Amino acid sequence: MKKPIKLIVLSLFVFVFALNHAFAQDKAKQIEELISKYNQYGQFNGAALVAENGKVILKKGFGSANMEWNIPNQTDTKFRLGSISKQFTAFLIVKLAEEGKIKLDVPITTYLPDYPKASGDKVTIHHLLTHTSGIPNYTSLPNFFKDKSRNPYTPEEFVKTFWDLPLEFTPGEKFNYSNSGYFLLGYIIEKVSGKSYEQYLQENILTPLKMVNSGYDHADVILKNRAAGYEKRGKKIINSPYLDMSIPYAAGSLYSTVEDLYLWDQALYTNQLLSSKSMESLFSSYIKAGKGSYGYGWFIEEADNGPAGKVKVTEHGGGINGFNTIIYRIPADKNLIVLLNNTGGTVLNQISESIRAILYNQPFTMPKMSLALELLDKFSDQGVTAGLDMYNKLKNDPAYAVLEGDMNNVGYQLLQTGKTKEALEVFKINAETYPKSGNVYDSLGEAYLTDGNKKLAIINYKKSVALDPKNEGGKKALEELLKK
């Protein structure tokens, strides 16, 4: 007896649905095991959410939101976002442009008439959005963290701390990441809207999208489920240094949860808040940046997916005292990875790429223990010889890896505590391991300079700039050294 066609189709649909569900469960299990291993090795402590085809397949907390009280991270734990905040600021600027309240191609003095004309007449809002303004990045200025980061400022007061500085290059000429540009965008939002940045953000994004666990962070406000921020000192965890949240402002002062960032991601596929044309402008490639390009508040790149071919990724990371974050989107398939970490800088790009590989059934590498964490205590407590002995003993151990970021952090921790010779050895190991990284030679150059070896400082700064022509800090250091 023949089955009715409708029954056959229904059975096929149920079978495909069950198969997809099983695949999603398998991927979720692999992702959870991956992140758990990173957590075990001290390389992730936070909350994660992964969506495939727009549907959440994993959301979970790992480690502690508060280590003193042993409170676990949950999916509704609130984390400081750092520079993920920039995409919200860019969105608000584009919304104002869509409403005809600002123009993106006019000088910023149009909206900030008191801004020094020598630079303000040359810099447009588009330049600020794309990090091509040439305005120096205030967080890179000498003694910024020591002299300014703990003090409260109004936006008007803080803008005046950098607005007289000369431009580092002709606006539009190149990409140079600048928190100053996004701070100015927040100030412009206030001037044009007549509302505080915080209020305008709340009314135009957070409330419409029901992002009830997101907002502008204030240290004095009692915030339920707020994660404490920590930083690593080798194997030790310490409380992160205080930062007044008026400082990051529109460049980095927001907090959120993985669940709220999923709501944000889903809204970006709609025209609920912006027209299609305006939405497209956020994700257009305007200037080469790193491995890809930069849009308005988003990095854009083509990621190699093995036999599956290349896939377009739009992403942005954030780093702020005690926190490291990333939102990683693959729009073509509505895939999303959100990782929010509360133990300072860690390998979120590496984790994201492994999760992407799992989503596309590609091979991926499980994490290894960071050799840098073993080396810090040894170099710090027992000196150069003991540190090098430890390195030579463990460098070929398959359980360990030399992670560039961790080694760089360890080198600077040693440098900042006066252990210059030890720092030099750590930076040398990093340069030997990552000979194509401009950053490792920049750090090595700085260590040689601190040690008083001008000749080797110049050699390494030259290598750094050759490998990374966008290294403006290295260029300045080299220029000063060659003058002497």
**At residue 15, does pLDDT exceed 70?**
no
Residue-wise pLDDT for 157-199, tens only, equals 999 999 999 999 999 999 999 999 999 999 999 999 999 999 9
Long-range residue pairs from 61-69, CB within 8 A, at least 24 positions apart, any chain: 62/35, 62/36, 63/39, 63/343, 65/225, 65/226, 65/227, 65/228, 65/342, 66/227, 66/228, 67/228, 67/230, 67/237, 68/228
The CATH classification of domain 369-483, taken from the options 1.25.40.10, 1.10.340.30, 3.40.50.261, 3.40.50.300: 1.25.40.10
Residue-wise pLDDT for 192-241, tens only, equals 999 999 999 999 999 999 999 999 999 999 999 999 999 988 888 999 99
Which of 112, 234, 123, 208 shows the shortest CA–CA distance to 172?
Answer: 123
Which of 162, 209, 195, 164 shows the shortest CA–CA distance to 181?
Answer: 162
Instruction: Please give the model's pTM, rounded to 2 decimal places.
Output: 0.88
**At residue 456, does pLDDT exceed 70?**
yes
| DSSP tag of 273 | S
Half-sphere exposure of 144 (CA within 13 A, CB side): 16
**Residue 19 binned pLDDT confidence (cut-offs 50, 70, 90):** very low
Q: Where are the domains of the chain?
A: 82-359, 369-483
- Return the number of other C-beta atoms located less than 10 Å from residue 223's C-beta: 14
CB 113 within 8 A of CB 99: no
Q: Look up the CATH superfamily of 82-359.
A: DD-peptidase/beta-lactamase superfamily (3.40.710.10)
Q: What is the mean pLDDT of residues 142-170?
A: 93
Half-sphere exposure of 225 (CA within 13 A, CB side): 17
